[in-house]
Structure 1
Amino acid sequence: MSLYQKIAAIGTKYLGKSRTFKYGFNWSPMYRRSTGRIISVSDDLLYIKIKLPINYKNRNYVNSIFGGSMFSAVDPIPMVQLMNLLGNDYVVWDKTAEIRFKRPAREDLFAEFIYSISELNDIKSRVEAQDEIEIVKTTLLTNKAGDKTFCEVHKTIYIADKEFFKEKKRSKES
């Protein structure tokens, strides 16, 4: 269990899961450096919204938001969100990521991360049938109104049954 997981376990007891998720990310050094901030988390963690404000910390040479800031503001959320939604019976890892820039961002950006109950049920049933799967989640970085897309990030996430994963790891080591 990582330091962040230990802090999250304690925080969840006192603040609840959604508040711990929001403030845990916003206060953690790894996420603060992205300059992104989580601004909204639903109680069930199915919906998360971030804001990436343009400022002196993330402006690049051509006066737009640095692409690395865009990616790092989006990168950890789909995986950690899914880990919390699925629970401890599953192993969840980022596998690949692809970022496509659409236009220079010279204004604050926003992104939403959404999982549905039916999507979670589909993931669980596919893992039950296949032991391990991959899904692709797409996140759009947009303006506040959501009518201009500046960047899209496609993340491939690996999900496995925890017992299957442990056995697979053991067989590779021997």
Structure 2
Amino acid sequence: MVQKLLSNPGVAKLALNLWPPFWGSGIKIKRLSKDFTHCEVALRFSWWNKNANRSQFGGSMFAMTDPIYPLMLMAILGSRYHIWDKSAHIDFIKPGMGKLYARFHIEERFVREVRMATEAGEKFNPKMVCEVVDEQGEVVARIERTLYIRLKRRFRPAQVEAA
């Protein structure tokens, strides 16, 4: 089901924009490239995502970056892989006021690195960094996510399963 949604960027963008955790938080996919290598996400500023200091709620900033890298990689690499967030860390740089944006990019050399690191069936845990910026382009938060990437069991070489 997920792979079917990820086979068409327009459908994936629509599905994510209607997904309750995004829709309810004011998170919107603004752009998603046809090859899934570029994505831009926006977070609107409203009363339901303000914190006690009247700035953007940090959890909303964190949520706007949550599934993006894994979903982009699932679309690029296909259904042979398990891909998800293993851990994450957010560094708040300054209060987020107004609409916020996050841009994601996956380079072809990184895709090659993933394939090489996992071809023997091993786990690969790359760190991906994304910055959340305000409307002036100033960094509000920096999020580092460690991904878990591994070939699904049925696609792993036999010697890995024996170990």
On whether the aligned pair clears a TM of 0.5, the verdict is yes
Give the partner amino acid of 2:51. Answer: N
- For 1:97, the equivalent position in structure 2 comes to 88
Measured against aligned partners, the alpha-carbon deviations of 1:112-152 in whole angstroms (never above 9, x if no partner) come to: 01101111011101111462110111110002342x10001
Distance in 2, matches of 1:51 and 1:25, equals 12
Aligned counterpart in structure 2 of residue 66 of structure 1, from 41, 54, 57: 57
Q: Give the structure 2 partner of residue 112 of structure 1.
A: 103
Q: Which residue of 1 aligns with 2:142?
A: 152
Q: Which residue of 2 aligns with 1:88?
A: 79
Unaligned stretches of 5+ in structure 1? none
> Which structure has the highest helix share of the two?
1
Aligned-pair distance for 1:77?
1.0
Letter in 1 for 2:34: D
Give yes or no for the alignment of 1:138 onto 2:138.
no
The aligned counterpart of 1:46 is 37
Question: Structure 1: which amino acid aligns with 2:96?
Answer: A
Q: Secondary structure at the match of 1:95?
A: strand
CA drift of 1:162 comes to 1.1
2:80·2:155 contact (CA, 8 Å) conserved in 1? no
Residue 55 of structure 1 is matched in structure 2 by: 46
Output the CA distance in 1 between the equivalents of 2:30 and 2:102: 10
1:46 deviation in Å?
Answer: 0.3
CA distance in 2 between partners of 1:40 and 1:145 (Å): 19
* Partner Cα separation in structure 1 for residue 127 and residue 25 of structure 2: 22
Contact 1:39 1:51 in 2 (8 A): yes
How high is the sequence identity, in percent, across the aligned residues? 28
- C-alpha distance in 2, partners of 1:33/1:100? 24
- 8 Å contact 2:121–2:151 — kept in the other structure? no
Pairing partner for 1:125 from 116, 125, 143: 116
Give ranges in structure 2 of 5+ residues lacking alignment: none
- Aligned residues: CA RMSD: 2.2
Number of positions where the alignment pairs a residue of Structure 1 with one of Structure 2: 159
Q: Provide the residue aligned with 1:163 in structure 2.
A: 153
